[in-house]
Structure 1
Amino acid sequence: MILKTHTYNLQLKDPFRISHSSRNVQPTLIVELTNGDFTGYGEAAATSYYGVSVDKMGQLVEEVCPVVAENINKSPEEIWQITAPYFKENSFAQSGLDIAVHDFYGKSKNLPLYKLWGLELENLPLSNYTIGIGSIEEMVQKMKNFPWPLYKIKLGTDEDVQIVRELRKHTSAVFRVDANCAWTAEETIKNAVLLKELNVEFLEQPLPKEDWQGMRKVYNESVLPVIADESCITEADVKKCAGYFHGINIKLTKCGGLTPAKRMIAEAKTLGLKVMVGCMTESTVGISAIAHLLPLLDYVDMDGALLLKNDIAEGVKLRDGKVHFPERNGTGAKLIKFT
């Protein structure tokens, strides 16, 4: 078995701005796992917000290579558990490896992951397309350039409701709002009333992740559902969110991959929480992995590859919010660019 890592700087079509950062480039790590017959690909996007770099991720993945090789005939879940001690401080790196192992395993079993898991491609949720913060003119132009049935609007400015009001004049699409921790409880409750009238479906992480008292107030008084993002990183966070949020947004990179994501989905459902899976501006390698969870989800945000100027892979595709699977096993992703 051979394990390799590849690093890329994914160029974005437009500058992507949220309440706490802005970027034109997304560094990402691709994990390649092969035995000569089958090759599995995984991905983990780096982010300075969480102190994660591609160099550190690559180093960790390569260090655990001998352990993976010794256990390659085991299931992805077993390999995840065996390698977990090596990734205590870096779930992003663990996610890249876990996705590659799942892809490899699915290919070795001659099945796409969703079939391997006993799922059917029925009643799948649509993916939103994200509009980052900008001038109203810029945000409107992005919508015109990319007509879509469902948009996630990034907010966190002094004119958030006015922005949504202006955007609503140009589309009948459903809106989701993500304030990325920028609001107070009082702002959220007030804004929710106005935003509901503008056909906003839900609010994602309106308050700072440490403001649990404020979230309890919002949970009880908001006229719109609230979905946890920064407040729900790992499996241990799911139970904490019950009674504070109406749902959770799981990121594969943050939680450690498909293996823990599936466990988080199951636990959330037992707690009566809605479940969303989101992305981190990955290429089609990472996005294709997310797609296999769709039969288990209420909502999905998997537009990352659509935001790129040039993708480095092919696989699952999005058209008008709908997901289209390739005729391939594993995740269905195929790396098309090596550097």
Structure 2
Amino acid sequence: MELILKEFNLKLKHTFTISRESIDFQPSLIVELRNNGFSGFGEATSNPYYKTTVSVMIQDLEKIRNLIESVKNETPDSFYDKMYPHLKHDMFALCALDMAYNDLYARQKGKKLYDLWKYDIGKNPLTDYTIGIASIEKMVAKMQELPWPIYKIKLGTSEDIAIVTELRKHTNAIFRIDANCGWTVDETIKNAIELKKLGVEFLEQPLKADNWEEHKEVFKHSVLPIIADESCIIEEDVAKCTGHFHGINIKLVKCGGLTPARRMIIEAKQLGLKTMVGCMTESTVGISAIAQLLPQLDYVDMDGALLLAKDIATGVTIDFGKISYSDLDGTGVTLI
């Protein structure tokens, strides 16, 4: 098996702002695994919040190149177990590698990945489309630029209720709110009351990640469901979220890829938590991997590639929230 690493700097259509940063470009690493004429693709993007860079991911993967390339006839679960001890300090690199191996494995079996897992795609959830923080006028303009059935609105400003009030005047779409750790307990409880009146479905990660007692307080008193993001990173975090959140948002890059994400989904369902998978600002490589999990999810946020000025791959396509799969096996990805 051959390991190929490719760096990209993904240009965004618009400056993307959340409560803690703004970006115009998103550095991304594409991992390609080749074997017997087949290729599998995976992706992980840099992220300053998690102190992850493309150069560090490349260094970590190069250190175990010989181990990766020596693998023969392993299942994705077995492959993940072999790689985890060497990459547990770099879950982003592990994600790209695991994603690529799952894709390669399914292609070699002549199956789409969701078919290999025996998932029924008949009732997939729609994806939301994200509106980053900007002036109210620009946020309205972004929404009008792409009419959509569900919008995820980034908040964490002094004008949060005013923003949603104005956006509501221009659409009947479902709203989801992501405060990216930008609120206090009192703000969350009070804002939830007003936001529910404005057609908001749930709140995502309103408080800082490690404020577990405060999360419990919000969980008890919020009139809207609360979904964990920064508080639910790896498999061990799922159980902690019970009694603190109503659901979890799994990010593949944070948890280490598709293999652990599937286990997290199973555990969350057993614990009565809603399941969601979210994206970073990724190309269609990462988005097509997320799409394989759709049948197991209550919600999904997989609009990353729609935010790009230019994509680097083909794979799944999205139209008014609905995901259509590629005709190709695996995750269906081809680099452009």
Q: Which bracket does the TM-score occupy, shorter chain normalised?
A: over 0.9
Which stretch of structure 1 is more off in the superposition, 64-73 or 265-274? 64-73
Partner of 1:123 in structure 2?
A: 123
Alignment of 1:250-265 (within 5 A): 250-265=250-265
Distance in 2 (alpha carbons) for counterparts of 1:69 and 1:9: 26
1:53-102 deviation per Cα after TM superposition (whole angstroms, max 9, x unaligned) = 10110121222222222223101110100111111211000000000000
Partner of 2:17 in structure 1?
A: 17
Q: Shift in Å at residue 36 of structure 1?
A: 4.1
- Aligned-partner residue type, residue 149 of structure 2: P
1:9-67 deviation per Cα after TM superposition (whole angstroms, max 9, x unaligned) = 00000000000000000000000110241001100011111110101101212222222
SS across alignment from 1:262: helix
Distance in 1 (alpha carbons) for counterparts of 2:65 and 2:219: 44
- Aligned-partner residue type, residue 21 of structure 1: E
Partner of 2:54 in structure 1?
A: 54
Does the 8 A contact of 1:131 with 1:153 survive in 2? yes
1:306-336 deviation per Cα after TM superposition (whole angstroms, max 9, x unaligned) = 0000000000011000000011110111111
Distance in 2 (alpha carbons) for counterparts of 1:305 and 1:279: 9
SS across alignment from 1:122: helix
SS across alignment from 2:110: coil
- Aligned-partner residue type, residue 47 of structure 1: N
- Aligned-partner residue type, residue 23 of structure 1: I
- Aligned-partner residue type, residue 161 of structure 1: I
Structure 1 unmatched runs, 5+ = none
1:199-247 deviation per Cα after TM superposition (whole angstroms, max 9, x unaligned) = 0000000000111111111101100000000000000100000000000
Distance in 2 (alpha carbons) for counterparts of 1:30 and 1:251: 17
- Aligned-partner residue type, residue 322 of structure 2: K
The RMSD of aligned alpha carbons is 0.7
- Aligned-partner residue type, residue 51 of structure 2: G
Partner of 1:233 in structure 2?
A: 233
Distance in 1 (alpha carbons) for counterparts of 2:63 and 2:299: 36
Task: Give the TM-score normalised by the residue count of structure 2.
Answer: 0.99
Structure 2 unmatched runs, 5+ = none
Distance in 2 (alpha carbons) for counterparts of 1:318 and 1:58: 30
Distance in 1 (alpha carbons) for counterparts of 2:324 and 2:145: 21
Distance in 2 (alpha carbons) for counterparts of 1:64 and 1:297: 33
Alignment of 1:132-151 (within 5 A): 132-151=132-151
Distance in 2 (alpha carbons) for counterparts of 1:62 and 1:97: 12
Task: Give the TM-score normalised by the residue count of structure 1.
Answer: 0.98
Partner of 1:167 in structure 2?
A: 167
Distance in 1 (alpha carbons) for counterparts of 2:306 and 2:293: 19
SS across alignment from 2:123: coil
Distance in 1 (alpha carbons) for counterparts of 2:294 and 2:248: 15
- Aligned-partner residue type, residue 234 of structure 1: I
Distance in 2 (alpha carbons) for counterparts of 1:204 and 1:277: 12
Alignment of 1:148-297 (within 5 A): 148-297=148-297
Percent identity between matched residues is 57
Does the 8 A contact of 1:72 with 1:79 survive in 2? no
Distance in 2 (alpha carbons) for counterparts of 1:49 and 1:65: 27
Does the 8 A contact of 1:153 with 1:177 survive in 2? yes
Does the 8 A contact of 1:4 with 1:62 survive in 2? no
Distance in 2 (alpha carbons) for counterparts of 1:185 and 1:253: 28
Distance in 2 (alpha carbons) for counterparts of 1:297 and 1:242: 18
Partner of 1:109 in structure 2?
A: 109
Does the 8 A contact of 1:31 with 1:97 survive in 2? yes
Partner of 2:308 in structure 1?
A: 308
Partner of 1:84 in structure 2?
A: 84
- Aligned-partner residue type, residue 235 of structure 1: E
Does the 8 A contact of 1:46 with 1:54 survive in 2? yes
Does the 8 A contact of 1:27 with 1:46 survive in 2? yes
Distance in 2 (alpha carbons) for counterparts of 1:17 and 1:31: 27
Does the 8 A contact of 1:121 with 1:295 survive in 2? yes
